Structure 1
Amino acid sequence: MLRSPERGAVALSLAILFPTVMFIVLMVVQASLWWYASQAAVAAAREGVEAGRVRGAAPADADARVREFLGRFDNLARLEQVSHDRSDAENMEVVVEVRTQSVLPFVDGRTITRTARAPRERFTAPGVTP
C-alpha cells in the first residue's frame, strides 16, 4: 500500500490555523467589551451630572446615581472611581473611571475615564438675563 506524502497536511494546517482564528475572535470580543465599558462610563457620567446639577442637589447625589447606574453592569464595567473635583457653583462635572472585563488571560482589564459636564440649574425672574 502506497502512502501519500501529504497525509496529515490538513490536520497540521488546522492545528496552526485554529489558534490564530480563535485569537482574532477573542480580540474582537475584547475590543467590544472595551467599547461597551466606554459607553457605560459615558452614560454613568451623564446620569451623575443630571442628578448633581439639580438645584439643591449635593455632590453625594451624583455619586449615588453613578454607583446605582454602574451597579447594573456587574463586571462588564466595574466602577473604580467617581469624582467631581472641578465642579463649581455654575457647572457640575462628573468624572467616571471604570475597569473593563478581560477575556484574554494576558490582557488585564483596561481603565477607561469619561467626563460629563453641564451647567447647574438656577432659577431667574422672567425677563431678567443672567
Structure 2
Amino acid sequence: MRTRLRRYRRRACARRRDDRGFASVEFAVLALVVLGLVFTTIQVGLYFHARKVAQSAARHGVEAGRAFGSGEGDGVAEAQDFLARFGGSVRGASVSSAGSTAEEVRITVRGSVATLVPGLELHVTQYADAPVERWTTP
C-alpha cells in the first residue's frame, strides 16, 4: 500500500513539473485576443464618430446654403467652419457643393478616419440635401 502511495505522489509531482509555465503561455495568447478585441472596438467607435461629424457638417452646410438669399458657397463655408471647430476625427476633409441645382442644395463632405493600425485607411463620405427656400405666389 505504501509503495502505491509513493508511486502516486511521484507521478503527481512529475505532472506538476511538466505543467510549469503553461499558465503564462495561456495568458499571453488570451491577452493578444483581448487586446485585438479592444482595439477593434475603439476603431469602430472612431469610424462611426467620424461619420456623424461629417454628416453634421453636411447638414449645417445645407441649412446655411438653403436659407433665403444665400448660395452654395455659403453652405460650403459653413460646413468647413463646422469641420474646423469639431472635425478633429475627420482628417483631410473636403467639402463640395457638386450636385446642387437652383432648386436644391447638396453638400458633400469627404475625409479619412483616424486609425489605430498603421497602414489602414478608412474613408468617410456623407452628404445632405434640401430644397432652397424661395418665395412663391399663390
TM-score, normalised via structure 1 length: 0.87
Q: Which amino acid letter does the alignment assign opposite residue 120 of structure 2?
A: V
Number of aligned residue pairs = 125
More helix per residue: 1 or 2? 2
Q: Please give the alpha-carbon distance, in whole angstroms, between the structure 1 residues aligned to 2:40 and 2:82.
A: 27
1:88 aligns with 2:101: yes
User: Unaligned regions of 5+ residues in structure 1, if any?
Assistant: none
Alignment of 1:58-97 (within 5 A): 58-97=71-110
- Which residue of the partner structure matches residue 117 of structure 1? 129
Asked whether the equivalents of residues 67 and 79 of structure 1 are also in contact (C-alpha less than 8 Å), the reply is no
Q: CA deviation at 1:60?
A: 1.9
User: Unaligned regions of 5+ residues in structure 2, if any?
Assistant: 1-12
Q: Please give the alpha-carbon distance, in whole angstroms, between the structure 1 residues aligned to 2:63 and 2:52.
A: 17
Higher relative contact order (CA 8 A, sep 6+): 1
Q: Percent identity?
A: 34
Q: Please give the alpha-carbon distance, in whole angstroms, between the structure 2 residues aligned to 1:42 and 1:24.
A: 27
Asked whether the equivalents of residues 92 and 111 of structure 2 are also in contact (C-alpha less than 8 Å), the reply is yes
Q: Pick the structure with greater CA Rg.
A: 2
Q: Please give the alpha-carbon distance, in whole angstroms, between the structure 2 residues aligned to 1:45 and 1:122.
A: 21
Moved over 6 A (4+): none
- Aligned pair partner of 2:29 in 3, 13, 16: 16
- Which residue of the partner structure matches residue 42 of structure 2? 29
Q: CA deviation at 1:81?
A: 1.6
TM-score, normalised via structure 2 length: 0.82
RMSD: 1.8
- Residue by residue over 1:33-59, the C-alpha shift from the partner in whole angstroms, topping out at 9 and shown as x without a partner, is 010111111111110000001122132
